[in-house]
Amino acid sequence: MARAGVASRRKSETLISTGHVQVNGTVIRELGTKVTADDAIQVDGVAIQQEQFVYYLLYKPRSVVSTAHDDKGRRTVVDLLDDIDERIYPVGRLDYDTSGLLLMTNDGELANQLMHPKFKVDKTYVAKVKGVPTNDALEKLRHGLVVDGHKTSPAKSKLISVDHRKNTAIVQLTIHEGHNHQVKNMLTAVGFPVEKLRRDSYGPLTLDGLTSGDYRELKSVELEALRESISNKKGFRR
Ligand code: URA
């Protein structure tokens, strides 16, 4: 009901427990009653329209904020998907100057599960760094290191290429945590500050076939794969 814009979550609960809500013609008073898109819901005899869940994959460009609103009036990822009727929002964040894969949806439950650390969804980033990371630095990232007072989980790290002339390198890093500026902080902590950062994958989802600024709906096999990627993790409840 809250999602359909009838009332706030709390007000909706009051409407249910005080007998204002009918499902398929029967008054229900039990909070948490499950309904599907096929059920007819009425509030005081007036039918409400359920919003369908939608899932979009966006190749976020740099210089766009990944919140729904920005105090400074900068362009947001929601502005980029302006032909979509549903109120969608990003699953997690990418920094203003980070590009790459961002999942956008109105399915709050899936979004919360994906962002919860216990589900350990792998995210792969490609960073251009200043300097050429040593084996020792890459090993530290694999092992886990203290950043901002907390120990990072072991990451996968790989040196992709080196530009000796410019003294820069491309590094691939896969992590499942999502602390603020985590990749930048990890690479800075081992001595290689990030000049550019892109997220190439999120769980089973990749940017394949998209260029910066593109977006498309998830295919049902991709959504299934995404659900699969968390369903066998400890603590999962459907
Ligand atoms: N890590 C970062 O440092 N920045 C991002 O945008 C995402 C992960």
Residue nearest to atom 4 of ligand 1 (CA): 181
Residue 161 has a pLDDT of 98
CA distance 237 to 222: 20
Q: For residue 225, give the CATH number of its domain.
A: 3.30.70.580
Q: For residue 139, give the CATH number of its domain.
A: 3.30.70.1560
pTM: 0.82
Residue 120 has a pLDDT of 87
Would residue 140 count as lying in a domain? yes
- Determine the structural domain holding residue 91 and report its residue range: 55-118+204-231
Please say if 95 is a catalytic residue. yes
Residue 68 has a pLDDT of 82
Would residue 29 count as lying in a domain? yes
Chain-centroid distance, C-alpha 179: 13
**Length of the chain in residues, anyone?**
238
Examine the domain organization and report whether 137 and 194 are in the same domain.
Answer: yes
Ligand 1 atom with the shortest distance to the CA of 186? 3
Examine the domain organization and report whether 85 and 100 are in the same domain.
Answer: yes
Examine the domain organization and report whether 75 and 30 are in the same domain.
Answer: no
Cα 102 to ligand 1 centre (Å):
12
**pLDDT tens, residue by residue, 81-114:** 988 988 899 999 999 999 999 999 999 889 999 9
Residue 230 has a pLDDT of 86
- Active-site residue (options: 38, 39, 83, 95): 95
Residue 232 has a pLDDT of 62
Residue 199 has a pLDDT of 98
Cβ-based neighbours of 15, under 8 Å, separated by 6 or more: 1, 6, 7, 21, 43
What is 89-151 written as a DSSP string? EESS---TTEEEEEEEES-HHHHHHHHSGGG---EEEEEEEES---HHHHHHHHH--EETTEE
Examine the domain organization and report whether 71 and 34 are in the same domain.
Answer: no
Examine the domain organization and report whether 212 and 114 are in the same domain.
Answer: yes
Residue 238 has a pLDDT of 47
- Return the amino acid letter for 76: T
Structural domains in the chain (count)? 3
Residue nearest to atom 3 of ligand 1 (CA): 181
Examine the domain organization and report whether 43 and 87 are in the same domain.
Answer: no
Residue 4 has a pLDDT of 72
Q: For ligand 1, which residues put their CB under 6 angstroms from it?
A: 94-95, 98, 181-184, 197
Residue stretches of the chain with pLDDT short of 70: 3, 5, 232-238
